[in-house]
Structure 1
Amino acid sequence: MRDCPKGYISKQEFSAIYKNYFPFGDSTKYASMIFQLIDIDQNNEIDFEEFIQALNVSAKGTVEERLEVSFKLFDLDEDDRISPAEMLAVVDSIYRMVGPTQVLSEDEDTPNKRVEKVFRLMDKDHDGFLSKQEFLDGARNDPMIMNSLNLYAGMV
């Protein structure tokens, strides 16, 4: 009630909250992507019910449910597959958001390298896209993805 007395939050307010949590980087793009994901009715507001649904999956959902949400995050054009360009847009927004606070291995120290590595490991049919199943299977073996899924575990 204190943070959201109107019962909903706008994209700008949501972005401002992300900025508080990631002060050393630029969270604007990532916050916008997460906002679109949570705003189920696409009315440019996240209401209490949408927020609680998202928080519930993030905090108490099964690994499968959380991976499904991750897939939706990366599948920007909602065609049930992830292109390298889609993944790069999301990964780049994450790298910009965390800024210099994370030290990454040489094979993942840029968004392009991260995307190339993910596709090398996950694109089993070598068609240049990740199907939902390829992503779900590959993500289970990716420490960075699995760690991000546990960010809110146990919070609710």
Structure 2
Amino acid sequence: FLHILAAYISKMNSVLLLVLYSIEDDFELATVCCRPDSLEKMLEQTKFTKTELQILYRNFKNECPTGLVNEETFKLIYSHFFPHGDSSAYAHFLFEAFDKHKNGAVNFEDFVAGLSIILRGTVTDRLCWAFSLYDLNKDGCITKEEMNDIMKSIYDLMGKYTYPCMKDSAPREHVESFFQKMDCNNDGVVTMEEFLESCQKDEAIMESMQMLDHVI
């Protein structure tokens, strides 16, 4: 089950990179409402190269002249790449994961910090990021209600025209499967420790996480 989620995280962040990527290579800091930190600081804080940061920034600035991305932009991006489904719920959850300051806006530093974890972080880094995505209220554990909301958003994103056609009960069934696998002490919630332990023991999940190494 989690290897499906890992593949979708990879797919969706590839979408963001496709939107932002170009062949430009200078780190021009034009007049914007929100200026990013220095290139040197971001080189220290992320695992991207100087050229990658230059490319990402140029296109971030082109797409977002104010230096900030709001939730509606996330939703618009995903609606273009998943036209047969409803991507709004998943885009909302993903935006919340990137919006570290919880002010309704993602700046360039937030964006590349998240991408650096997803695309260049260790397996543990990536799993911790995924856990944070699923932990919707950020209380340190994942409930069945939270995982059901995430799963439903992924099925909505995929749309009704998948093959083979999925039953309406599929999200709930996947949630039950998730908890049988992850909830080691059967207390009805999955903690970070349970999540990491279960994922790291699963060969399929570990292989799926390696796919993220080849996104860029």
Aligned position for 1:23: 83
Go from structure 1 to structure 2 and tell me whether the alpha carbon gap of 1:23 and 1:150 turns closer, same or farther (over 3 Å shift). Answer: farther
For 1:1-156, list aligned pairs within 5 A: 1-100=61-160, 103=163, 110-140=170-200, 141=202, 143=204, 147=208, 149-150=209-210, 152-156=212-216
Q: Deviation at 1:139? A: 2.7
Structure 2 vs 1, CA of residues 115 and 152 (structure 1 numbering), >3 Å: closer, same or farther? same
Secondary structure of 1:82 counterpart: strand
Deviations 1:119-138 (A, max 9, x none): 11111111111111111122
Gapped regions of structure 2 (runs ≥ 5): 1-60
Deviations 1:3-30 (A, max 9, x none): 2222111111111011112112111011
Instruction: Mark the CA change 1:150 to 1:23 in structure 2 (over 3 Å): closer, same or farther.
Output: farther
How far has the Cα of 1:87 moved from its partner?
0.6
Separation in structure 1 between the aligned mates of residue 157 and residue 140 of structure 2, nearest angstrom: 26
Distance 1:142 1:82 in 2: 22
Q: Following TM superposition, by how much is the alpha carbon of 1:58 offset from its aligned partner in structure 2, in angstroms?
A: 1.1
Greater RCO, 1 or 2 (C-alpha within 8 Å, sep 6+): 1
In 2, distance between residues paired with 1:100 and 1:145?
A: 29
CA drift of 1:110 comes to 0.8
- Indicate the SS of the match to 2:184: coil
- Equivalent-residue separation in structure 2 for 1:83 and 1:142 (angstroms): 24
How many residue pairs end up in the alignment?
155
TM-score (norm 2): 0.64
The CA distance in 2 between the partners of 1:38 and 1:10, in whole Å, is 10
TM-score computed with the length of structure 1 as normaliser: 0.87
Q: Percent identity?
A: 31
For the pair shown, which has the larger CA radius of gyration, 1 or 2?
2
